[in-house]
Structure 1
């Protein structure tokens, strides 16, 4: 029953302007031609901050690029990820990177340095400060409409990005390429087109933290249930996680919302899109008792 809701959410997701994506490992015991100890994956696809919130999880037996290519077939917008090359094969999209990952490289470099490495420390701190400046700007623009945020970024973020790129190009020649700092700089340069793509549209975010936050409920659940017995069970988990996390994101009580779905789904024409849409988590037709009361 819930798969009808899932499939409808999937269709609507592909009509979005921006999709965030991420993936994490899972274990499935009875997979064809695979050992029970081998890795499988739960993929996550999420909408941006504007409009109805949707989170779709999808189980797949591998981390192959063919999986996002198939799931996102027909999508023609911005695809924001952490830079994993497996998303590069998705056609007709504009790839957007994650500055939080770029920033993390500099924080890791600082942690890896000995206490007496003053010059390298200063350089890593400089790179970190560029990232911090960009995040501080984003914080001030958070409540603006996309059009306003786009204009403000041109005024405030663009000069910082230009200075950051110039700094990266200079420092790349001055640090050891295989050092933690060298890798942080190389990551930013290799990903620069994607890292700066948030400037193209005010609806795009500066990082892929939205997807990383959305994948965490599954990661926490995985620590408890440990594995799925079969691919069918893993797929069922993906569907249920999609329904529940989307309900939570739309400020619904997941328990009451599921009760509502199980009551209504057997009694409607599942081929009737209008009837199905009334059951979606962001629909105005969802009963008040399913909604979490707003705090005063």
Structure 2
């Protein structure tokens, strides 16, 4: 006998019965009751996933909490803990108002170079039409315009003059020859200049413009360069010169006490022994707040834990991470969890609930409210010193965490483990030892959003150029992204800074760490023309 359960058109399940259910067979009835409950739970899970996908595809991407959603009587009451005999920890409700200030057009243009064009009346015409007397300037009428100067290309000939002595040529045995000094080129025996390589790098790694589109653009400027040539310049510039800055940045990074880490996928077409569809990974490591930004990308074939373990082998301190377990086995490191991820699970649980699921909605909303209160406290102490922030967290955040922990234990047996709400509760309990680490040091952050913001430009660029051809190209991209993103966060213009590096690096002792330090993005000796307009 075959029974077909009619489900929504996105889900169809067929159950085969091998035996006939006898009315008085209690064991068989109990079996099918249990089986029916399993199928209903599975159906609810699929429906949750469908609603969540619909929200992700068509709904707003913001995770901002609706104020009306939180205005429930439930949150005006004292929180219940597992043991009613234990005194309830209290916490303050912190309100936060953000002042939005928008700059005027004048303020936005005040740092741009300005050219003045005066329109005057000739001296002969400066005569009053009424009485014939000489006129004077009464006022000025000013009109401002923004002018764009498109990219221009020219050939620069570096002519090195050589000098000799005519007297010695005629009378002497030897003729001294003196050659004028000339800066060493970054790319010998090549038409590539520091400016064109910096321009192409900036277009690809800052603006996300693939090389094949740059190839077309250069043709309109009168330059016929193949994308293979452009790619060779990228690899050569990264491996020969920028890697020296990258390696020194890494040495500085591993001396920090607090770091952030994240990773994302990358497709590399020509990896030995792997198909073109295989996923590779771009790892990101960076330092925390109140430090000159230092951001490093590293390409690896897999997401295995051996990669961060090797990269961070000389690091000893706190590491902000997400929920990925690959960081758990790194020695001498204390992991600090991400509350944004914890909050996101409760937010998704709310979005996945069907209409009428009142109790589950109250539960998910309550979990979300705990997270919101923690973030409200962080906003309040954002501009405080680490010492003051540490004290505020102990006074306000710790009681919330204690109540939240008790609430999570109470909800664990009540929610379906595989439901969206069950996953939210499970995530918090599983990573609780990492989620409370931010209480230990006022310099720590409540989330890992800093690394997510830093890796986002790579994710956006990946959508434009989709893949890397070879592992060598992926490694070069990691180096260039590291230089560009660190330069941006230190207030530098990526193009001007890259151009400056290609001009300076061939003419210094690159084995001298002090000289390399003078070229790092946060160095005070970087010239003003490399600074971005404010």
Equivalent position of 1:194 in the other structure: 434
Quote the residue 1:149 is aligned against: 389
Partner of 1:77: 317
- Within the alignment, does 1:46 sit opposite 2:286 as a pair? yes
Alignment-derived partner of residue 476 in structure 2: 236
Alignment of 1:11 onto 2:262: no
The question of 1:20 aligning with 2:263 is answered no
Match of 1:95 in 2: 335
SS at match of 2:263: strand
Q: 1: distance between equivalents of 2:329 and 2:415?
A: 32
What is the count of residue pairs matched by the alignment?
294
- Structure 2 residue aligned with 1:214: 454
List aligned pairs for 1:114-263, cutoff 5 A.
114-263=354-503
- Supply the distance in 2 between the matched residues of 1:89 and 1:109 (Cα, whole angstroms): 30
Question: TM-score, normalised to structure 1's length?
Answer: 0.98
Whichever structure has more helix as a proportion of its residues is 1
Cα shift at 1:213: 0.9
**Structure 1 CA distance, aligned partners of 2:272 and 2:326?**
23
Distance in structure 1 (CA, Å) of the matches to 2:452 and 2:291? 19
Q: Which residue of 2 aligns with 1:63?
A: 303
Displacement after TM superposition at 1:293 (Å): 3.5
> Which of 512, 526, 531 is equivalent to 1:272?
512
Distance 1:267 1:90 in 2: 40
Task: After superposition, give the CA deviation of every residue in 1:43-88 in whole Å (9 maximum; x if it has no partner).
Answer: 0001101211011000000001010001111100001111201111
Equivalent-residue separation in structure 2 for 1:180 and 1:80 (angstroms): 25
Secondary structure of the residue aligned to 2:414 is: coil
Q: Tell me the CA shift for residue 171 of structure 1.
A: 1.0
Greater length-normalized contact order (CA 8 Å, ≥ 6 residues apart): 1
Measured in 1, the distance between the counterparts of 2:528 and 2:394 equals 42
Instruction: Name stretches of at least 5 consecutive residues in structure 1 with no aligned partner.
Output: none
Indicate the SS of the match to 2:365.
helix
Name the TM-score, length of structure 2 as normaliser. Answer: 0.55
Q: C-alpha separation between the residues in 1 aligned to 2:315 and 2:420?
A: 36
Cα distance in 1 between the residues matched to 2:340 and 2:502: 40
Secondary structure of the structure 2 residue equivalent to 1:172: helix
If you compute each CA radius of gyration, which structure gives the higher value, 1 or 2?
Answer: 2
Which runs of 4 or more aligned residues in structure 1 lie more than 2 Å from their structure 2 counterparts after TM superposition? none
